[in-house]
Structure 1
């Protein structure tokens, strides 16, 4: 009997239902807070996410933006085009790779992204506020080890590698006296 046969259909349904409901509730809260945060900058979530990814990856292909941004390639391309029209991104081809289209954040795009980062207010973030009792109890933010293991299985280790690169970039570039230093915490992989 295989491992999959040992798990009942009911258990599988219960697990996936619970995961779907919890994920949807979490995303709805994140989405609402994210939209409120970036609204003054005339950006939507996809545009902000693309700027963020392009900044932290120091340029990326549309495919990489799509994969790390968890969006369809056409979504990544179309929103990148809107950002290009605002002179926030540029498109290019590379000498050694004519097949892929690459995007890079412009100085104007970088300035806008950094302005959004400076405008971030943790006290306006429902997830951040909601995790405070756990942080007070355990002295740190949750590690999400099970979730990270699941994401690794679904999206592959490259996804977590890119996440870790962006986290290190944020840690090194956005240190503020008011925020705690998490540089001694392990990578999320």
Structure 2
């Protein structure tokens, strides 16, 4: 049977189907990997993400955490509150902006975030392991430029700037601790 040419509506549906299925499958593994990584620190994914964003921004408003963490404002607030209760974040208002609530990592929060980064084990990360054959074949990990371009269109330049900042944080931490094999493995990734 001869294949019919796909029409734009069919192309759109097929493309959307691929994005949905591949994203869902990838997220399932990403979520499992992330949960397993941070479980020893009694953190969930939202809490870890809040710590990371707050660090990258040098403190952040709840709105910024929601935006860059791709979560609802109430989720950002509630999980930030739990982190405050644990002494990992502080809440404040700025003199120039009383309507927004800001969070800042405490030294304990900063320390815990860095501990989680140091505890990352590539060999226990399913997505990392699944990407190794591509790295071996091409000499580098996938750049994900097409996905980055789509995310930039959906969330804007500022979202991608934070993404770049958190990536920079990993590199800088690796540069500060070149003797640490865990950080060294992250740097190579």
Give TM-score scaled by structure 1 length. 0.89
Tell me which moved more, 20-29 or 107-116.
107-116
CA distance in 2, matches of 1:79, 1:107: 18
Q: For 1:17 and 1:136, how far apart are their aligned partners in 2?
A: 29
Which residue does 1:58 correspond to in 2?
58
Question: What is the match of residue 79 of structure 1?
Answer: 79
Partner of 1:103: 103
Q: How does 1:1-189 map to 2 (within 5 A)?
A: 8-175=8-175, 176-177=178-179, 178=181, 179=184, 181=187
Moved over 3 A (4+): 175-178, 180-183
Q: Quote the Cα distance in structure 2 between the aligned partners of 1:137 and 1:77.
A: 44
| 3-state secondary structure, aligned to 2:58 | coil
SS of the residue 1:174 aligns to: helix
How far apart are 1:140 and its partner, in Å?
0.9
TM-superposed CA distance for 1:99, in Å, is: 1.5
The Cα of 1:174 is off from its aligned counterpart by: 2.7
SS of 2:164's partner is helix
Report the counterpart of residue 186 of structure 1 in structure 2. none
For structure 2, the 5+ residue unaligned runs are 1-5
SS at match of 1:83: helix
Shift of 1:155: 0.5
Residues of 2 paired with 1:22 and 1:73: CA distance?
27
Structure 1, gaps ≥5 residues long: 1-5, 184-189
Stretch deviating more after TM superposition (57-66 or 7-16): 7-16
Separation (CA, whole Å) in 2 of partners of 1:7 and 1:90: 54
